[in-house]
Structure 1
Amino acid sequence: MPDLILPEEHDQRPWQERLEQWIFDNKGTLVVLLVGLILLGFGLFLSRSGVFEGTKVEILEGGQTRLAADSDPRQGQIIVEIAGAVQNPGVYELLASDRVERLLIVAGGLAADANREWVEKNLNRAAKIIDGQKIYIPYVGEAAVAPVSGAEVSGVASSMININTGTASELDSLWGIGPARAQSIIESRPYSSVEELLAKKVIPSNVYERIKDKVAP
């Protein structure tokens, strides 16, 4: 950086002229300082706005892939699996706040031979995913797992209705669960266990006893 040129001690000119002369003599240094301040401010803005946050893919034990978000660790992370008719089936690490749609995106989207009609009817893309969950997407012509009590499968490879991803119509099909309770179950998500239906006072104990073996978290 150029050295600052100081005004002469016995300069008798008015201070305005001396200031103008000083600025002219040091314009190179002042430009460098100004550019540095602008770059510093821009860097602070980017760091605060999270522009530098990104994602990275790591390898889990057994050679499975993991997508980890470089974001605020206070949000928490979960490990979930997606299998079946997707571009990149496997185990992924996501944020606890992520939805089924996010898992589909990191898995590369649906495969060309995915049963899209089944997906549109049964998979709730807006549902939250939970730690340890597995979602299976069937292929065209593949028989889906038979639902309980006429309910549609919610996306989890299970004969039970998933209380974290099931739609209102699926939950409504359960004994003692009408439209109001189905909506209450959805609004009280996520659940780490079926027992939380009681702990969160979503359903009464008599209804819980009738459906506890037909639902899963």
Structure 2
Amino acid sequence: MFWKTEDGEVDKRCLFLVLLLTGAIVAGGLYICSPFFDGSGEEVPAEESISLESEKEEPELLVYITGAVKYPGVYKVAAGSHVYDVIHEAGDILPYADTASIDLTENVVNHMQIVVKTDLAGQGALADGKVNINTATGKELETLSGVGEATASKIITYRKEHGLFTCKEDLKKVPGIGDGKFKKLEDSITL
């Protein structure tokens, strides 16, 4: 055996060589696996390696948005997002939204609720004679051809139970309003 001398003793030179080689392998492994090594062969300062890790792991925030947006609900957004970003995720604001009541540049925080209020002033019956089915009162709805007190009440009840209409065709979901009645109303209504 190469690590033993002729008289059966361990060859110290061979043992030294084996230990040196083992030490070099361990040192190389530690260098490569070091948290201060970025794989390019250059050492990365401790501050940079920590900031790179924190940039990669941005937490998501849960934000609930309701009110005058197309798709109210709970959204996951990246940390550092603003109210504007959440509104964009929710399909944007509706035409009758009161944007003066919210700060679009406000930073969102986890578990935040954003309420986009409606601006109902003058939004029921419009100047061009069309009735806004999302904001009209019962009396304003009754001005539509073929809509009486009962149908107006059903429209308002539907809005309360299911939220605002997102398109004119949603009016057909109200009990008692079928395709025929909707065609008569279509040109007289707006959102």
**TM value normalised by structure 1:** 0.34
Provide the TM-score with structure 2 as the length reference. 0.38
Please identify the structure whose Cα radius of gyration is greater.
2
